[in-house]
Amino acid sequence: MATTVRVDVDSSGVALITLDGPERLNAFSGDTARQLGEAYRRCDADDTVHAVVVTGAGRAFCAGADMTAQAAVFDSPAEGFSASPVQPPAWRVRKLVIAAVNGPAIGIGLTLALQCDVRLVAEDAKLAIPQVRRGMVGDCAVHYTLKRAVGLAVAADVLLTGRTFSGSEAAALGIASRALPAGDVLSAAMELARDVAVNANPASVAYSKRLLWAEETIDAVAAQETRVHLTLMGGPDAAEGPAAWRESRPPVWRSTASETGDPA
């Protein structure tokens, strides 16, 4: 009953990635990690995909690693073990990636969502990164992603206590962008993704995302912003964006995410 990964791309250019193992609340395994990485790589390379939504099948987002005795999840590691098993991570995908956290997100379930650009959560979802209570530490670069998102104080509260909190509290703390009734989470995420897929220039999104996730000094980021402006200014999409706005119509972009370099 291992959790598999499904990818469905709609006509607007939104890829819906679903963690599909509802009988076990989409519990995560090494094979799930491999499939999710492949899904991200496919979405990054496909220029018909303009935005990505990640969710879970059934009533959970992801209940975390399989903790049954048979799984022996924290036994001696195999050669080449990584605490960041999903490669590439969501932050390297050159598209907006939204986590639609429709239910419980525990351990790696939440740390994976924290690799996404935007998180929408169910108000009553149970969330936790409980690894310190399991004799381990958080994974998927959460000591970077969570601290960067909400600051040291909130990250310490979540990571050093391992406590469980609700989706509503996650939104109040800034861990999530919005908390919604569980039944509305996926539709809201898809609506946001479709709006971006239709109206945002793919190259602009890719460049902006790279700048947001870069570990650079403020001066280095400012210099990179200038380089991106010089790349985009004078191009066809620099004229198309304002023209579409003036004419109250959807833009017709010529740029693609793949032309920005650095594939996932």
Question: What is the pTM for the complete model shown?
Answer: 0.94
Domain map (residue ranges) of the chain: 4-197, 201-260
- Reply yes or no on whether the pLDDT at 69 is more than 50: no
Please say if the pLDDT value at position 124 is more than 60: yes
Mean pLDDT, the chain, whole residue set: 94
Superfamily of domain 201-260: Lyase 2-enoyl-coa Hydratase, Chain  A, domain 2 (1.10.12.10)
The DSSP annotation for the chain comes to ---EEEEEE-TTSEEEEEEE-GGGTT-B-HHHHHHHHHHHHHHHH-TT--EEEEEESTT-SB--B--STTT-TTSSPPTT--S--SSS-GGGSSSEEEEEE-S-EETHHHHHHTTSSEEEEETT-EEE--GGGTTS---TTHHHHHHHHH-HHHHHHHHHH--EEEHHHHHHHTSSSEEE-GGGHHHHHHHHHHHHHHHS-HHHHHHHHHHHH----HHHHHHHHHHHHHHHTTSHHHHHHHHHHHTTS-------SGGGS---
pLDDT digit string, tens, across residues 150-197: 999 999 999 999 999 999 999 999 999 999 999 999 999 999 999 999
Specify the CATH architecture of the domain 4-197: Alpha-Beta Complex (3.90)
